[in-house]
Amino acid sequence: MSTLQNLRDESGITGIPSLPLPAEEIREHLDMILAGNEFCSSRRSSELLRHIVERALAGDTESLKERLLGVEIFHRRSDYDTSTDAIVRVTASDVRRRLANFYSESSAQSMRITLPLGSYVPDFIPLAIREAPAGITQTKYPDGGPSKITTPVRAPGEPIILPVETRKSHPIHLTKPVALAFCLCMLFALGAGWWLRDITHGRGFSKDDRDYAFYDDLLGSIGEKSKETQIALTNPHVLLYLGLNKAGPALGENPKDVPVPPDMAAVLNQTSNDNQANFPFHHFFVDTSNYTGFGEATAAFGVSRLLQATGRSAHLTGARFLNWDSARQEQLVILGAPHESAFVQSTLSAANFTIDYNSIHNAHPLPGEQVDYFKSGHGGMLEDYGLIWMTKSPSGTRVLVLAGLSSAGTAGVGEFFSDPERMRPVYKQLRALAKKGTFPESWQVLLKIETREYIPVQVSPVALRITEGN
Give 270-323 pLDDT, tens digit per residue.
Answer: 554 446 666 778 878 776 666 667 888 889 999 999 998 899 999 888 777 777
Structural contact between residues 82 and 67, judged by C-beta atoms closer than 8 angstroms: yes
Residue 153 has a pLDDT of 43
227 in Cβ contact with 221 (< 8 Å): yes
**Do 137 and 260 belong together in one domain?**
no
Work out the pLDDT band at 469, boundaries 50, 70, 90: low
Pairing mode, strands 353-355 and 443-452: unpaired
Span 205-229, average pLDDT = 80
Residues 327, 262 share a domain: no
Kindly state whether residues 192 and 304 are assigned to the same domain: no
* For range 189-213, the mean pLDDT: 48
User: At 288, is the secondary structure helix, strand, or coil?
Assistant: coil
Residue 278: which domain range? 238-287
Residues 363, 430 within the same domain:
yes
User: Could you give the CA distance from residue 416 to residue 424 in angstroms, rounded to a whole number?
Assistant: 10
Per the model's pLDDT, the better-predicted residue between 79 and 384 turns out to be 384
Quote the pLDDT of residue 290.
Answer: 63
| Confidence band, pLDDT 50/70/90 cuts, at residue 201 | very low
Same domain, 302 and 327: yes
230 with 275, same domain? no
In this structure, the answer to whether residues 450 and 312 fall within a common structural domain is yes
The confidence score (pLDDT) of residue 258 equals: 81
**Same domain as 277, residue 402:** no
What is the residue-wise DSSP string for 18-84? G-SS-HHHHHHHHHHHHHSHHHHT-HHHHHHHHHHHHHHHTT-GGG-SHHHHHHHTT---TT--TTT
Percent of the chain with pLDDT over 70: 69
Specify the pLDDT at position 286. Answer: 74
- Compute how many other C-beta atoms are within 10 angstroms of the C-beta atom of residue 250: 10
- Do 326 and 442 fall within a single domain? yes
CATH code of the domain covering residue 358: 3.30.379.10
Q: Which of 176, 201, 226 is the last residue of a domain?
A: 201
Whether residue 185 is found in the same domain as residue 282: no
- For residues 27 and 148, state if they share a domain: yes
In this structure, of 135-144, 310-319, 373-382, 423-432, the range with the lowest mean pLDDT score is 135-144
Give the count of domains, the chain. 3
Closest CA to 234 of 175, 166, 289, 307: 289
Three-state secondary-structure class, residue 242: strand
- The vertex-170 CA angle with 105 and 184, nearest 5°, equals 50
| Residues 278, 395 within the same domain | no
**Most confident option among 72-86, 119-133, 320-334:** 72-86
Residue 455 has a pLDDT of: 83
